[in-house]
Structure 1
Amino acid sequence: MKQTFTKFVQKFILSLFVVVLGAGTIHAQWIFEITSPQSVAGQYDYGVANFGNYYEEEGELALAFDDSDDPSLGCEPLVTDMTDQIAILDRGACNFSLKAYHAQEAGAAALIICNNEAGVINMAPGDFGDLVNIPVIMLTASDCISIKAAIEGDEPVIGEFYFSGFTTENVLWGLEPGQGDFDGGLNDWTTQGISEPEHVWEYKPDAQSNGGCGSFRIASPSAFNGAMVFDADFYITGGPEDQGGIGCGGSEVAIHGELISPVIDCSEFDAVAVEFWQFNLNISQNPTPESLRERTYMQFSTDGGQTWGDRVVINTNNFQSTAGSSITNPERVVVIVPEAANEPEFRMKFVHDGSFYVWTVDDVRLIEPPENDLVMQDAFYPLRSFATPADYISADTFGFFCFVSNEGFSDQENVEVSVQVYNTDTDEILHEEIVQRSLISRGQLDTIQFTQNFSMPGIVGNYSIRYHVETLGVDDEIPEDNTLERRFVVTDDIFAKEDPAVNSFGGGVTNPDDSWYWGNVYYIPDGLDGTPVFNGVELSFVPTAGEFGGENAAVHLLEYVPSGPDISISDLNANSDLPPQFHTLFEPVAIGIIDSLMLNEAGPGGIVRMDVSQFLDPNFVSIEGDYLELNEDKLYAVVLQMEGDALRLPASSSILYNTVVGILYVDNPDGIKQYYSGYTSLGGPVARMITSVFVSTEDIAPFTPRSVQIYPNPTANELYLNFDHEQPTDVRVELFDMQGRLLMHRNYENVGNEVIQSDVRTKQSGNYIIRIKTDRGVQSQPVIIAR
C-alpha cells in the first residue's frame, strides 16, 4: 500500500474539493429495537428490503404460519391473524416479497424474516414488491432464536421501528403538515420545467421514482405520506420497457427543473439552516462542471424570489457509473444560510440541471443550526480486501487520512483528530495518532493527513480503523457524526472482499443476453517469508429459477502481467475485444469448472469450495499436488464466467474501497465488449482466494538449543513454549507440516520470562516443525503430535 498511498491521497482530495463549503451530509437510518422483555431488549442490526414502506410502528412480535408442510415460511396465505402485530417468518422456498405480501394480507403491521444462516442480506423485491406497503427487515438466525424463545415466555415481546436523527428540537419552520413534508402534494410549493415545460418535480405518494434504469424509494422520515421526485431517468428513458419506455438506455441529456418554496418569514430567526432528506443518485461521483452529468443545487432569495443568490452545490455520496457505485438512503443534508437571518421574505429552491438519474427530496425544514458540530465527512480505507491472510497483511504498510467539516455556527478552536487501529475482539489498540488543528472555521472542509505509517501485525482476528474528531473542552451537539469506523479481518488463508464468516447470500446479478466475466483481484506483496501458493477458491451462486438445475460456470485464476498492486481498466479496454483469459495483460494460471453437482451440494447462495486439485492448468491438464506457486508483487484475479441468466452472482457487501479491487467484462449481443471496475460499494461477486505461504523444509534452520524450551514432545493436545529472555522481545510462532506448508502462526508482543501455551488439538497425528522467530534469531525444532 505504501507505493500508492500518496496517489490515493491526491486523487481523493481532488474529488472532495469540488464541495462548496457550508453544505454537508449526515447519515441517519431507521432503527429496529425490542423494548421488552429485558432478555432480548436492544437495537438489532438488520438487512433491508428493497420494497415495502417506511414508517414508525410499534407492536407485539408474533410467529406467523401458513397451512403448508413448512408453515413458518409463509409461502402460502397465512392462517394466523396478525392484525397490528410484527410478524415473524423464516427465510426459504419463495421470494421475500411474497412472504411480506402474505403477512400484510393477514393484517401485520411489519414483517421480520429470519435468516437461516449467520449474518443478514438485503432483500430483492421479486414479483410482489409493488404490492407490499409495510416495513420488512431480516434478522440473523441467532437473533431470531433468542427472540422466538422469548415469545414462548410469559411476557409479550414488544418491538418498534423508528427513525434516528429526526427531532422537533430547534425547528424554526416545517413542523406544520404540508409545509416541507409534502403531505399529500406540493401544497404551497411550486415547480417549473426549464429544459422542457414537462421537466418538473412531481409529487409521488409512494415516494418512489420510476425510471428505466431503476425504481428508487426514499427512506425519509415521512416517506409514508409521499415525497417530491425529479426523475431525470424517466424523462430520458420513458421508464421501464414493460411500461412503454426504452428501459435503461438513451443518451445523456441536460434535464433542468426547479422546486420552489413559498415565502417564509424569517424575521425573528437570528440564525438559519436548511435541513432536508434526500435520495440523490448521480451517474458519476464527481462530474466535471462542463459535463451533462447530473448537478444538484440549491439557491436562496431574500426578496421573495425576485432575485436569487449563487448556486450552492448539494453533495451526495450516491453515484452509479462504470467506475463504481454507492448508495446511501436517506441522506440528511444541512446547509447553513447566514443571509436568511432576520429576513421576512426568504425563499429557497432545489435545482436539478444535468442528466441521469434521480433526485428525491422530503422533510424540508428550517432549523436553528447547532453552535458546535464537527463532522467526520469521509476517511481513507487503506485495505484492498476486507479479509487478508496474516502472512500478506504483515508485509503491507497502512497510511491514513480523513476529511473533517465544521457544520456548526461557531468556529472551532483546539480541534483534535485521531485515528486508531484496534482489535475488536480484545479492544487492544495497535496504533494511534493524533493531529491538532488550532482552528476549523464555520463551513470549512479540512483535509487531515496523518504522518505515521503503520505495519499491521499478522495476527488472526477482527479489527477496525476508527477516525474521530472533537473540539477539546467543548460538547459537540451531534456527537454521532464525529466518528467513522472501517472494519477488516485478518485470516489464516483466505482473501475476500466481504466478511468470510458469512456463508449464505441472496439476490443475484446477471444479464440474460450477455456473457459476463466478473471477479475480484488480490495482491500478493513482496518480501514474504516463503513462496506464496494458491490452494483454492470459495464462490457463491444463486439460481434464477429458485433451485439449481443443470447449470454450470467456470472460474479462472489469472495473473495480471504488470507488477504492483494496481490494475488499469483503461489499459484493459485498449484491447476490449479479448475476454480476460485471452487478454494480453492477463496470464492464465488455472481454470475450474463448477458443475451442477457442486452447485446443488452448496445450495442456493451457499459456498462452493474448490481446492487446487479441482483445477486444470492452461493446457487443460489436471494439476498435481496441493498448491500452485504464485509470484510476489503481482495481482491475481479470481474471475467467474457465465453466459445467460441461468445463474446469478450475489453482490457480496457494501465496503467503500478506495481503489479498483475487481473487474467486470461484458460481451453483449450488440457487439459491445467492455471492461469495468467490477467491485462497487453495492458489492462484488463472492469470489474468494485461498492462499498460503510455502516454506521448504530445507530452508527451515535446524534446531539449536537457546532460550526456549518446547514440551511435551510428543504431545496430544498442548505445546508449551518456555521463554527465558533477559529483555522482552516480540515473538512469532509458526507450525509447518513436513511438506513445508504453514498450518498455524501466532504473534506475541513483549515476551520475557514466561510460558506460552499453544493448542494443537485440531491438528492430525504426525510429524511437524515448529519455528520461533525473534529479533535475536530463528529457532526450529521437530515436534510429534500423537493420539
Structure 2
Amino acid sequence: MKKTYLVICLSILGTGAFAQRMSNLHSFKGIPSTPALDSGIDISNNSFALESTRGHLDTLFYEDFVNGLMGNNVSTTPAWSTFSNFCSWNYSLLGSQGQFAGTGPIVNSTTKANGFMLLDGDACNPGAAAGFQDVDATLQSPVIDLTNKPNAVLTFQHGFRWCCTAASVKFEVEISGDGGNSWTSYDVMDKVQSNITAGTGTAAPLTKSINISAIAGGQSNVIIKFRKSGVSHYYWMIDDVTITEAPENDLILDYVFFGEYSSYPLAQVANMEFTGSVNNFGYMPQTDVTLKAEVLKNAGSVFSTANAPYTLASQKTDTLTLPTAFTPTEKGEYEIEFSVSQNETDHNLMNNSKKRNFNVTDSVFSRDNNMYTNRGYARANKATYTLGNIFEVQQDGYVTSISFVLQHTSETGAEVRVKLYDASFEILATSEVYDVVASDINGQVTQVLNSPKTVTLSFYEPYYVEKGFYLAAVEHLNPTKGVNIATGTDITQPLQQSYVEVNSDWFYTTLTPMIRMNMDATVGINKEEANGTKLFQNQPNPSKNMTTIRYELGNSAKVTLDVFDISGRHVLSVNEGDKPAGLHSINISTANLNGGIYYYTLNTGNARATKKMVVVQ
C-alpha cells in the first residue's frame, strides 16, 4: 500500500532542512472542496500600512523598541518583560542566527534601523542530535491606561517563518483588560504558509491590526502579550507596536476565493463561485453591506454578482459566497474585481477591494499564475524526488506534455523527466529523460518576474484521460546535480493539491510548484472511427521545410487539420472543407516552425485522430 504524508519543511531558495516532521494522510481521491484559505505570496495584500490607515486617529500607545526592553521614555527599569521555558525574546538589529534559517533576513518594519524584538528559536535549539525542544515564550508590555478610550485598535508590524503543521505551532497576541487576571487570545499566523519568510527582507512587513475595544476599551490596566508556543523552528520578529482609537466605520475585505487555477484549458473550465471574508473593523454596525465580484475581459465587464445587502455588527466577520457562478466561454485574460461597500463612509477604502487574474487558453492547466519570486523546492544534498500538482479534468481529452519552471539554484546537466499519475499515484505516462541546459534556468530576481523561462517535456504520445483527478509531476533523477523547482502563487489554494515523492513515499506539500499540465486543445476520443477514417504518418518525418500528411475517409465529410506544439499551443490550422470518400493529402510548410515535437489532429465531425511529427531546422 502506498503511503502519503504532509511535507512540512520545504527548501526555500534551494537551502534549508527537509521533512523534519510528518503526519499520515490519504491519497487525493477524496479531496475536500472547502479551501484551507492559505495564501501563497499574496501576504501583504491581506494587511494594511500603519501610516495610511491609522494616520489621523489619536495614538494612545506607541513602542518602536529603540531602547529594547526598557521601552520608549523609560530609563531605569524595563517596561517590557519576557517569559520562556528555554528561549527568550531579545532586542536585536540582526535576523535569525539559527541552524535552519541560517543568517536570516530582518523584519522590514518602519523603524527596523533602530532595532526590534526577536525570538530566535533556531539559535536556541540544540538541534536534531540532542532532540528538538518546543518553545513557549512571551513578550509582555507594560500596563497601558486606556481610561476614557472605549474604542481601541492594536497594530504592529512583524515578520516570521514557521515550521511543520499548523496544529504544531501558535503565533498569538493575548490581551488583558484587568492587569493580567484574564486573557483573550488572537491568532496572528493568519494565512501565511509553512516555511514562507514572511514580512522580512525586501518584502512588505506583515502589518496586523486587531480591534481590542471589547477587552481593553476604557480599561486602566491593559497588557499586551506576544506569545509563540509549540515547534521552535525558525523565528518571530516584532516592531512598531501601536494602539490607536478605533475608526467608527471600517469594512475590510480579508480574503477572496474564486477557484484554485490561474490558467484553464477552455474545454476544462468549470463553474466559478466567488467567496469573500468581510470584517467590520469599526465600532459601529454597518448597513447595506454588499460584496460584489465583477469579471472583466479586455477591460470590459462580462459578468457580475453580489449578495443581498445586510447589516454587519461591529467587530464581526462574515464569509460570503455570492449567489451566481460564472463559466468562461472564450479564451483570453480575465480579471476579477472584488469589492465590499456599505451605506456609511468608510474610514479606509484601501482595504475594501482585491483583484485576481486568470487565463483561459487552448491547453494549459496552471496553479502558479506565472509569478516567479526566487522561491523553490529542492531536497538537501541534491537528493532526488518527484514533485507535482493535481489537476481536475472536467472533459475527456489528451494530456500532451508537462511544463515547469526551474529556480536559479538548479544546475546544468541535471536529469529530469515528467510523469502523469492517476488518483492512486499509479504512473500513466512518462517522457524521455532530459538534461537541463543553462538556458532552462531562471536567474535570481529582486522583484516578481511574470514571464519566467519554462521547460516543456512531452510524453511519447498524448495520453487519453477521462474526467477525474490527475497529478502532473517532474522527477529529479541524478543526485549529483541539483534540481530546484520554482514555487509560489497568489491564488488561494486548497490543501492537498501538491505532492512530492521521496523514497517511494508520497507527501503533500504546503507550497505550490510551478508545474503545469498541458492538454490537447480538442476534446474527444482519439481513435479511428468505424466509418473508415484513417490518419497516416506525415512524410518526411522529421521534416525541415515541407511535409505531407495523408488521410482516408470512408464517407464524405468536412475536414480540418490542426497542429499543436508540445505545450498544447495551437500553431497551425488547415480547413479542407467538404471532401469525398477516399484518399487525400495535405502539404504543410514547416519552414516557419521551431524545431521540436508537434502533434497534428484530423477532425471530420464524427471522427478524430492525432499523430506526432518532428520538425528540424
Matched, 1:411 2:431: no
Kindly tell me: are residues 410 and 503 of structure 1, through their superposed partners in 2, closer, same or farther at Cα, counting changes over 3 Å? closer
Q: TM-score, normalised by structure 1?
A: 0.56
The count of aligned residue pairs is 505
Instruction: Report deviation, 1:635.
Output: 1.0
Does the Cα contact within 8 Å between 1:536 and 1:689 map onto a contact in 2? Answer: yes
Does the Cα contact within 8 Å between 1:285 and 1:320 map onto a contact in 2? Answer: no
The aligned residue for residue 592 of structure 1 is 432
The aligned residue for residue 449 of structure 1 is 321
Matched, 1:493 2:353: no
Alignment match of 1:635 (pick from 470, 473, 489)? 470
The aligned residue for residue 391 of structure 2 is 522
Name the aligned partner's letter for residue 481 of structure 1. Answer: N
The aligned residue for residue 264 of structure 2 is 388
Q: Distance in 1 between matches of 2:217 and 2:166?
A: 32
The aligned residue for residue 296 of structure 1 is 172
Alignment match of 2:239 (pick from 341, 350, 362)? 362
State the secondary structure of the residue aligned to 2:100: coil
**1:229-263 deviation per Cα after TM superposition (whole angstroms, max 9, x unaligned):** 2233433x24xxxxxxx37994462x222222223
Matched, 1:262 2:137: no
Matches within 5 A, 1:329-340: 330-338=205-213, 339-340=215-216
Alignment match of 1:231 (pick from 113, 120, 133)? 120
Q: Distance in 2 between matches of 1:559 and 1:5?
A: 16
State the secondary structure of the residue aligned to 1:277: strand
Q: Distance in 2 between matches of 1:6 and 1:536?
A: 24
**1:522-559 deviation per Cα after TM superposition (whole angstroms, max 9, x unaligned):** 33223x5xxx22332333335648x73xx232223223
Instruction: Report deviation, 1:375.
Output: 1.2
The aligned residue for residue 141 of structure 1 is none
Q: Distance in 2 between matches of 1:629 and 1:524?
A: 11
Name the aligned partner's letter for residue 507 of structure 2. Answer: Y
Name the aligned partner's letter for residue 172 of structure 1. Answer: T
The aligned residue for residue 559 of structure 1 is 421
Q: Distance in 1 between matches of 2:591 and 2:262?
A: 27
The aligned residue for residue 33 of structure 2 is 8
Does the Cα contact within 8 Å between 2:404 and 2:485 map onto a contact in 1? Answer: no
Instruction: Report deviation, 1:369.
Output: 0.8
The aligned residue for residue 540 of structure 1 is 405
CA RMSD of aligned residues (A): 4.4
Does the Cα contact within 8 Å between 1:664 and 1:677 map onto a contact in 2? Answer: yes
Does the Cα contact within 8 Å between 1:5 and 1:399 map onto a contact in 2? Answer: no
Matched, 1:377 2:260: no
Does the Cα contact within 8 Å between 2:372 and 2:487 map onto a contact in 1? Answer: no
Q: Distance in 2 between matches of 1:690 and 1:183?
A: 57
Name the aligned partner's letter for residue 299 of structure 2. Answer: D
Instruction: Report deviation, 1:310.
Output: 2.2
Q: TM-score, normalised by structure 2?
A: 0.70
Does the Cα contact within 8 Å between 2:375 and 2:487 map onto a contact in 1? Answer: no
Identity %: 16
Matches within 5 A, 1:760-771: none
Greater shift after overlay, 644-653 or 411-420? 644-653
Matched, 1:677 2:503: no
Name the aligned partner's letter for residue 523 of structure 1. Answer: E
Q: Distance in 2 between matches of 1:503 and 1:223?
A: 27
Does the Cα contact within 8 Å between 1:213 and 1:249 map onto a contact in 2? Answer: no
Name the aligned partner's letter for residue 684 of structure 1. Answer: P
Name the aligned partner's letter for residue 379 of structure 1. Answer: V
Name the aligned partner's letter for residue 346 of structure 2. Answer: D
Kindly tell me: are residues 183 and 632 of structure 1, through their superposed partners in 2, closer, same or farther at Cα, counting changes over 3 Å? same
Q: Distance in 1 between matches of 2:273 and 2:219?
A: 47
**1:713-745 deviation per Cα after TM superposition (whole angstroms, max 9, x unaligned):** xxxxxxxxxxxxxxxxxxxxx964399x99489
Name the aligned partner's letter for residue 399 of structure 1. Answer: E
Name the aligned partner's letter for residue 371 of structure 1. Answer: E
**1:334-370 deviation per Cα after TM superposition (whole angstroms, max 9, x unaligned):** 2223354444443322233333343321111110111
Q: Distance in 1 between matches of 2:129 and 2:251?
A: 40
Kindly tell me: are residues 439 and 249 of structure 1, through their superposed partners in 2, closer, same or farther at Cα, counting changes over 3 Å? farther
Instruction: Report deviation, 1:511.
Output: 1.7
Alignment match of 2:93 (pick from 198, 205, 214)? 205
**1:585-639 deviation per Cα after TM superposition (whole angstroms, max 9, x unaligned):** 313312321125xx14535557464453xx4xxxxxxx4xx63333332414222
**1:451-472 deviation per Cα after TM superposition (whole angstroms, max 9, x unaligned):** 3233221x2211133322111x
Alignment match of 2:336 (pick from 465, 473, 488)? 465
Q: Distance in 2 between matches of 1:479 and 1:700?
A: 63
Instruction: Report deviation, 1:427.
Output: 2.3
Name the aligned partner's letter for residue 231 of structure 2. Answer: S
Q: Distance in 1 between matches of 2:153 and 2:105?
A: 27
Matched, 1:478 2:348: yes
State the secondary structure of the residue aligned to 1:203: strand
The aligned residue for residue 562 of structure 2 is 737
The aligned residue for residue 497 of structure 2 is 661
Q: Distance in 1 between matches of 2:292 and 2:310?
A: 14
Q: Distance in 1 between matches of 2:387 and 2:346?
A: 45
Does the Cα contact within 8 Å between 1:25 and 1:331 map onto a contact in 2? Answer: no
Matches within 5 A, 1:58-97: none
Does the Cα contact within 8 Å between 1:410 and 1:441 map onto a contact in 2? Answer: yes
Q: Distance in 2 between matches of 1:378 and 1:308?
A: 34
State the secondary structure of the residue aligned to 1:480: helix
Q: Distance in 2 between matches of 1:372 and 1:248?
A: 54
Q: Distance in 2 between matches of 1:631 and 1:497?
A: 20
Instruction: Report deviation, 1:422.
Output: 2.4
Q: Distance in 2 between matches of 1:515 and 1:185?
A: 45
Instruction: Report deviation, 1:181.
Output: 0.7
State the secondary structure of the residue aligned to 1:165: helix
Matched, 1:27 2:47: yes
Matches within 5 A, 1:47-446: 165=52, 168-174=55-61, 179-188=62-71, 190-196=79-85, 198-206=86-94, 208-214=95-101, 215-235=104-124, 237-238=125-126, 246=127, 250-251=131-132, 253=134, 255-283=135-163, 286-287=166-167, 293-302=169-178, 305=179, 307-321=180-194, 327=198, 330-338=205-213, 339-356=215-232, 357-383=234-260, 385-393=261-269, 396-423=270-297, 426-446=298-318
Does the Cα contact within 8 Å between 1:541 and 1:650 map onto a contact in 2? Answer: yes
State the secondary structure of the residue aligned to 1:653: coil
Q: Which runs of 5+ in 2 are unaligned?
A: 1-27, 72-77, 444-451, 532-558, 574-588, 594-599, 609-617
Does the Cα contact within 8 Å between 1:520 and 1:679 map onto a contact in 2? Answer: no
Kindly tell me: are residues 408 and 610 of structure 1, through their superposed partners in 2, closer, same or farther at Cα, counting changes over 3 Å? closer
State the secondary structure of the residue aligned to 1:8: coil
Q: Distance in 2 between matches of 1:489 and 1:470?
A: 27
Instruction: Report deviation, 1:700.
Output: 13
Q: Greater helix percent: which structure?
A: 1
Does the Cα contact within 8 Å between 1:204 and 1:226 map onto a contact in 2? Answer: yes
Q: Distance in 1 between matches of 2:51 and 2:561?
A: 51
State the secondary structure of the residue aligned to 2:380: coil
**1:44-73 deviation per Cα after TM superposition (whole angstroms, max 9, x unaligned):** xxxxxxxxxxxxxxxxxxxxxxxxxxxxxx
Matched, 1:651 2:513: no
**1:372-431 deviation per Cα after TM superposition (whole angstroms, max 9, x unaligned):** 111111222413x322222222xx2222322211111111122111222322xx123333
Q: Distance in 1 between matches of 2:52 and 2:373?
A: 32
Structure with greater contact order relative to length (CA < 8 Å, sep ≥ 6): 2
Q: Distance in 2 between matches of 1:4 and 1:470?
A: 39
